[in-house]
Structure 1
Amino acid sequence: MATDDEGVRVIVQDCADRCRRMALHHNVNGRVKPSTAVPINEDFSYATKRLEPLTEICGSNSGETFRILTEYAASFRIEAIKVTEKGATELGAIKRMCDKNWWMRRLRKIFNQAYQQTAIELNLVHKYKQIYASDLTVKKRQQQRAYNEQMLSSMSVINDAGQRFSLKELSDLNVSNPAVRKAELMVRMRGFEELSKEHGHQGIFITITCPSKYHAVYSKSGQPNPKYQHLTPYQANQYLCGLWSRIRAQWNRKDIKPYGFRVSEPQHDGTPHWHILLFVEPQHIDELKQVVSHYALEEDGDEKCAAQNRCDFKLIDPEKGSATGYIAKYVSKNIDGLGLDVGVYGENPITAAQRVDAWASCWCIRQFQQIGGASVSVWRELRRLN
């Protein structure tokens, strides 16, 4: 396994070259040996048209070539490119699989996730050692951010008025900037809360947690969990996504239309759980809770303490504090940690936010989601007009 980006680049170049050789060889000779039997360094000197553009070579037999290259990519656990009438064509997919940049994006993700999962399997990721994400994953994320900032700072654009700005300056004006991102989320949540007060809706805060088999260690001791089935945080988040889709489908059937926000964050061992702030008509509160409890306990609901730990509900009491203030700490923890005295497990909140960012980037987890309401694009355009 490659230990750094330079090692990954070597593998990437080999993969892209091999795909191109297989595509050329198959179309020139009509047949190709199984991909596992083609040596990486075979020169295919007998393929006289090896330098002919892929557009001309692959068009005659793109279906079979696409199948062969897809099987080769699958050996690296890379999903097949979806071919559709309005999207990627078979020829387009073939050309992508012959491109080293296409391979780089996918293999870098696979290697990074393999590093992180190995650290989890070795019992290194928990609150007593390396909280939320491994030190290696955090270091690689910091290096990636530093590289991105350096690249943006080195490039500039000039507008029609002759003003010059670096891409870094422009990037800091949108939600790529953590401060802007947090402010926008808080304003949108505050808007939902004010809307709920106007209509007399009840706020409720829900926490949904994964079954025990997704947790590598115990929450209190940090010792290995014997029920752990070597599932990744990505798989855990996919479980939560599936669970959430069933919950929303059932709400829709019952004509329950809640609105609010969802925050996905890691527990100390990197397993995701969701915090959901919703507003709904008061008469639907009990039915809303019943649906969440039913689906949250549908899988392994008979395990010890599942009823207490799998889902939790807290009604928002305006006399004790605002709903936006209740979720503010979760937003801050997942963005920059500013405004917090200490993390959930007693850790430094700034460092914790950096580790959470590395965790979300590694496992491709969407941290924030609006539920109900107009799309954020409409909201932003209306804000510009105001």
Structure 2
Amino acid sequence: MRQGFRYLPPPLKTLITLGNEQLCDIAHNIAKCHFVRQKSLTLECTAEYCRSQHEYGIAIKKSSRHSLDGIMMRLRSEVYWREQINNLADEHREHHAMQGKLLGDPKYGLMPYCTDQTAKLFEDRRTSIHAKMQRSVAIPSTGVTKSDIYANSERSRLNQLYLTVKAMEQLAVSREYIWIMMTLTCPPSFHPSSKSYDGSSLRDGNDFLNQLYRKLFKFLGKKYHANADYFGLRVAEVHQDGCPHWHVLFYCSDKMLIDIQSKLEQLLSGDGRPDGYYKTYSNKILKKQVDSGNETSPIGYVFKHLFPRSSGNVSTTDTRTDRRVSYALRAAGVRQYQLIGAEGISTKVRALRKIANDPSAPNNLKQLATTLVANPADDRARRLQGMVDLLDHASRDVKFIRELCLNRFREPASRLSHLKHHKDKRCYELGRYSITAICSAAVTINVSSKKKGNTRSSNCISLRKIYHYSTQEQIQSIDLSTPCLAYPPAQLRWRPP
């Protein structure tokens, strides 16, 4: 490789017009350029180099999680730059289309939800990933290939989400809660189809909605507690002109409904909307079970853009509506859905479903896991009831245990390593189908953040040791030397991780 290699990436307005292969070439050349530059860096210049802005204004802030050596490895990593370049190009492509008012109703010659180029790029990426995984060797015990897992992963994830929300609905009936579906929208200044559009992007609109959401639930958090008093689901969607909106479905008591109505009326005023906006459109902003009748369920409406369904005459391409909505949100880096009052449930369910197939799993974990797996159609009701019990109380009996490790950039991190039921004396080791014998307690080690003015040696990190006993938790802070947890400085080589 030539020592004097230099590369000037194309400007942003050109970047958004390129295809996947060209974007990958740009990421490759930027990583190669940083590799050559790092070969000539002195030790004194390393810190300034890591703190400075790089191509397209991208900078990596040094923190307790990011070391200088890790930042150096990121900057010469083709994988890192490929992710950054793709995200940058996707977001600005959609923002440029919104500013040019190219998104909207197809009957007016516009592209719905996202640009055709973005839809094609994401489709090509899906096809490329599937093709690479098809070349993988099947797992001997099951005969399943990575391509099969990838093809079924999205459908399995959405099916699990649907089952969780159905369990929430059943749990709400037992607690005598009502359902509320709240629709949060942006003011006209965020809509490209409006005359008062100010050039905001989809992410700007989502940040506005997130701010509304946080203010509402900060107010509710003073009187109510998640899972105990309310739970539900938040789903982000996109109008055809690219502006986002949220559907928030949650189950709560009648008393909480009164507080929500008063707070919403206060929040949805003075942000560019006309006076009396909430009172005029309250029946659309807040739909209640008491208005719709006890037989009505809003789950189907909330999931209308999550589950695959064909919709005719929506695009000049052959891409489905649900995928175009998903691609628009992914291009802006917006999370499409999130559970409310059930944090960590999805991860626990995935781990428990794996345990159900292991005969050597601890008894209580095994018993809980079998209620979530139903092969015959007759057991669907049992599986739903198992999910209801998990949401109601069983999830509190199961704890994840994290262990200290190193990430791909040789920085201290943590990962889920074990699962433990409080009635079991043994922990289940995730990913290895084996049992770790712990007679009295399980131990979690967390890396604490560094404090200013710390006089400890740079080779020593502060850890928190948490002992999970059957009846109590004991927390102990310790200082642990890092040589056994860290590699020596990474060798400067091509190709980086």
Give the TM-score normalised by structure 1: 0.77
Of the candidates 137, 156, 171, which is equivalent to residue 195 of structure 1? 171
Q: Counterparts of 1:11 and 1:271 in 2: how far apart (Å)?
A: 30
Unaligned runs of at least 5 residues, structure 1: 28-57, 218-224
Of the candidates 9, 18, 28, which is equivalent to residue 33 of structure 2? 18
Query: Which residue does the alignment assign to 1:330?
Result: 302
Query: Which residue does the alignment assign to 2:49?
Result: 65
1:101-136 alpha-carbon deviations (Å, 9 max, x no partner): 211111122112222222222222101321111111
Note closer, same or farther for the CA distance 1:304–1:72 as it changes in structure 2 (3 Å cut).
farther
1:265-320 alpha-carbon deviations (Å, 9 max, x no partner): 10111111001111111112110222233223353344795764697001124745
Of the candidates 279, 290, 295, which is equivalent to residue 321 of structure 1? 295
Higher strand share: 2
1:76-102 alpha-carbon deviations (Å, 9 max, x no partner): 143x324333x2212211221122221
Of the candidates 99, 102, 109, which is equivalent to residue 121 of structure 1? 99
2:114 counterpart of 1:133: yes
Of the candidates 122, 140, 143, which is equivalent to residue 164 of structure 1? 143
- Preserved contact between residue 269 and residue 275 of structure 2 (Cα < 8 Å): no
Q: Any residues of structure 2 matched to 1:343-362 within 5 Å, and which?
A: 351-362=320-331
Note closer, same or farther for the CA distance 1:9–1:378 as it changes in structure 2 (3 Å cut).
closer
Q: Counterparts of 1:95 and 1:272 in 2: how far apart (Å)?
A: 36
Q: Any residues of structure 2 matched to 1:1-386 within 5 Å, and which?
A: 1-2=14-15, 3-27=18-42, 58=43, 61-68=45-52, 71-73=53-55, 76-78=56-58, 80-85=59-64, 87-127=65-105, 128=108, 129-159=110-140, 161=141, 163-173=142-152, 176-178=153-155, 180-217=156-193, 225-255=194-224, 257-297=229-269, 299-302=271-274, 305=277, 308=280, 312-317=285-290, 319=293, 321-323=295-297, 326-337=298-309, 351-373=320-342, 375=344, 376-381=346-351, 384-386=369-371
Note closer, same or farther for the CA distance 1:108–1:377 as it changes in structure 2 (3 Å cut).
closer
SS for the counterpart of 2:303 is: helix
1:241-272 alpha-carbon deviations (Å, 9 max, x no partner): 22212211111113364211111110111111
- Preserved contact between residue 342 and residue 348 of structure 1 (Cα < 8 Å): no
- Preserved contact between residue 211 and residue 299 of structure 1 (Cα < 8 Å): yes
- Preserved contact between residue 202 and residue 281 of structure 1 (Cα < 8 Å): yes
SS for the counterpart of 1:156 is: coil
Note closer, same or farther for the CA distance 1:293–1:378 as it changes in structure 2 (3 Å cut).
farther
Q: Counterparts of 1:14 and 1:197 in 2: how far apart (Å)?
A: 58
Note closer, same or farther for the CA distance 1:135–1:353 as it changes in structure 2 (3 Å cut).
same
Amino acid at match of 1:130: M
Give the TM-score normalised by structure 2: 0.61
- Preserved contact between residue 180 and residue 250 of structure 2 (Cα < 8 Å): yes
SS for the counterpart of 1:228 is: coil
Q: Counterparts of 1:77 and 1:321 in 2: how far apart (Å)?
A: 54
Note closer, same or farther for the CA distance 1:243–1:319 as it changes in structure 2 (3 Å cut).
closer
Q: Counterparts of 1:132 and 1:287 in 2: how far apart (Å)?
A: 34
Offset, 1:372? 0.4
Amino acid at match of 1:385: T
Q: Counterparts of 1:303 and 1:112 in 2: how far apart (Å)?
A: 37
Offset, 1:8? 2.4
Q: Counterparts of 2:306 and 2:324 in 1: how far apart (Å)?
A: 9
Amino acid at match of 1:378: K
- Preserved contact between residue 125 and residue 268 of structure 1 (Cα < 8 Å): yes
Q: Which moved more, 1:307-316 or 1:200-209?
A: 307-316
Q: Counterparts of 1:135 and 1:263 in 2: how far apart (Å)?
A: 23
Q: Counterparts of 1:185 and 1:195 in 2: how far apart (Å)?
A: 15
Offset, 1:138? 1.1
Q: Counterparts of 1:135 and 1:304 in 2: how far apart (Å)?
A: 39
Q: Counterparts of 2:167 and 2:317 in 1: how far apart (Å)?
A: 30
Q: Counterparts of 2:188 and 2:171 in 1: how far apart (Å)?
A: 38
Over aligned residues, Cα RMSD in angstroms?
Answer: 2.9
Q: Counterparts of 1:319 and 1:280 in 2: how far apart (Å)?
A: 16
Offset, 1:360? 2.1
Offset, 1:196? 0.8
The percentage of aligned residue pairs carrying the same residue is 18
Query: Which residue does the alignment assign to 1:37?
Result: none
Q: Which of 1 and 2 has higher RCO (CA within 8 Å, sep 6+)?
A: 1
Note closer, same or farther for the CA distance 1:172–1:8 as it changes in structure 2 (3 Å cut).
closer
Higher helix share: 1
SS for the counterpart of 1:255 is: coil
Unaligned runs of at least 5 residues, structure 2: 1-13, 354-368, 372-497
- Preserved contact between residue 66 and residue 93 of structure 1 (Cα < 8 Å): yes
